A = this chain, B = another copy of it.
């Protein structure tokens, strides 16, 4: 049979300034690009496996997991296929079908799907309902306590550490402490946090934390992190009665190739960039200020932003599109002419973006480009 042409190139997105928040912190480090080639084939990390991926010594997955556990301050850590697969594993293992969990109102869709797949009901903590779209711990506690009153037992409370729509950073420590007091298992979805900003799970009293290698840890997808307190290890990582080395909830082994090799190679680089998080936020705030110098461009979500993912309302850009012969596509095209990509074709009323890891010059260039485009047409 004859195959179609799948158009397997990505030059435009690789070589230009990519504002897509999904993509910015997943770019491989130089060491990870080497590991990618070295471990690109099939089942490449399994040459010397004696039955447990987490104990493979060549390459040093065992030592890597020790370092990773220190980095995010958890007692036990495993890799999974992504943050969503980590959330599902926790909910599936810790809850029974028909149970109810509490989830913040800014949760990623995969938090809902993880609960639906596990047959678990969701009660939602509303955000502030205004342009800030803020999840406060006061509101979380209120919803959680009401849920306990109404339902009886709430097994688990999920908090989105940084949401993917507004880039709002929530108070994980307050959640951890509150859940401990109320006897509810806490699960922190740190897909947009871990690998960008400091995570201190034990310091925050968080039971389970998940992260995303491809989203925020300079790794090739798909790979995620599942960290936990030691008290959950036996239950969460229960072994098969029939295959005593194999952890049931992970189906034995999870990441068996380039994703884990690239994550390992990037860890020193990721640790270093997390140390520079304050500088990153400062540069993002400067970028936001520059963009807001344009009349009719306004950052929404919590202000000033505490994360690199920022969302803007952009009525000015929309107004231009109404009169432009290329309609809303003008923005994508004008940006692309300036080597800037990552904002969806045709989208002008609002956008979210990230300049994570860019130099100050690059960020300035992007802000100036938006100004130029607006001045050209307005």
Contacts and interface: CB of A to CB of B under 8 A. Distances in A.
Contacts of A246: 109, 113
B28 A33 contact: no
Nearest to A9: B38
A258 to B, nearest CB: 5
B27 A42 contact: yes
A9 B264 CA distance: 12
A248 interface: yes
Contacts of A71: 1
B242 A1 contact: no
A360 interface: no
A219 B42 contact: yes
A13 to B, nearest CB: 5
A5 B109 contact: no
A212 to B, nearest CB: 9
Interface residues of A, number: 88
B66 A4 contact: yes
A42 B220 contact: yes
A42 B22 contact: yes
Interface in A325-358: 342
Interface stretch (A81-89, A136-144, A173-181, A300-308): A81-89
Nearest to A85: B251
A23 interface: yes
Contact of A40 (B28, B47, B109): B28
A156 interface: no
A60 B7 CA distance: 6
Contacts of A27: 41-42
Contacts of A249: 117
A42 B25 contact: yes
Given A8-B35, A33-B40, A259-B257, A116 B221 contact: no
Contact of A214 (B10, B37, B256): B256
A20 interface: yes
B67 A3 contact: yes
Contact of A60 (B4, B31, B58, B112): B4
A8 B267 contact: no
A227 to B, nearest CB: 15
Contacts of A28: 40-42
A300 B81 CA distance: 36
A257 B26 CA distance: 10
Contacts of A85: 81, 251
Residue of A26, A249, A258, A262 most packed against chain B (CB within 10 A): A258
A222 interface: yes
A369 interface: no
25 contacts: A1-B70, A1-B71, A4-B63, A4-B64, A6-B60, A6-B265, A8-B39, A10-B39, A10-B59, A13-B44, A14-B41, A22-B42, A23-B47, A36-B36, A36-B40, A41-B220, A44-B221, A81-B222, A88-B251, A109-B240, A110-B252, A220-B258, A221-B256, A221-B259, A222-B257
